[in-house]
Amino acid sequence: MGWLWAIIVGFVLGLLAKAIIPGKQHSPLWLTTICGILGALAGNAIARGLGVAETKGIDWSRHIFQLVAAIIIVFFVDMLYTATLGKRRKRKYDERV
């Protein structure tokens, strides 16, 4: 059941990160979900390192760290994805000409 929650949380964090980042992102949904999962793991590690991973009630600080990490990861992965996508499109165009 843990892997299912990881996918759900990663999906939600990835979509929130895409909504917060200005402009259009070209990365597919599966890649956004993986970035969200990585953001959740990184945010948990940061919160644990700062000693705020386990608090009474809702762990708002941990969730903020997760979201910020997901935003950073989605931003950079989308930049890499868009750059490689542009190179692939240019190569296909050059082959046709």
Show pLDDT as tens, one digit a residue, over the chain (97 residues).
578 888 899 999 999 999 999 988 889 999 999 999 999 999 989 989 998 867 787 888 888 999 999 999 999 999 999 888 766 665 555 555 5
Give me the pLDDT at residue 6, please: 85
Q: Which pLDDT value is given to residue 74? A: 95
**What tokens does 79 get?**
């930049």
25 backbone dihedrals φ, ψ, rounded to 5°: -100, 140
Going from N- to C-terminal start, the domains of the chain cover 2-96
DSSP states of the chain: -HHHHHHHHHHHHHHHHHHHSSS-----HHHHHHHHHHHHHHHHHHHHHHT-SS-SS--HHHHHHHHHHHHHHHHHHHHHHHHHHHHHHHHHHHHH-
Gap between the Cα atoms of 32 and 87, Å rounded: 21
Give the per-residue pLDDT at 59: 80
Residue 5, pLDDT score: 86
Predicted local distance difference test score (pLDDT) of residue 89: 61
pLDDT at position 25 is: 86
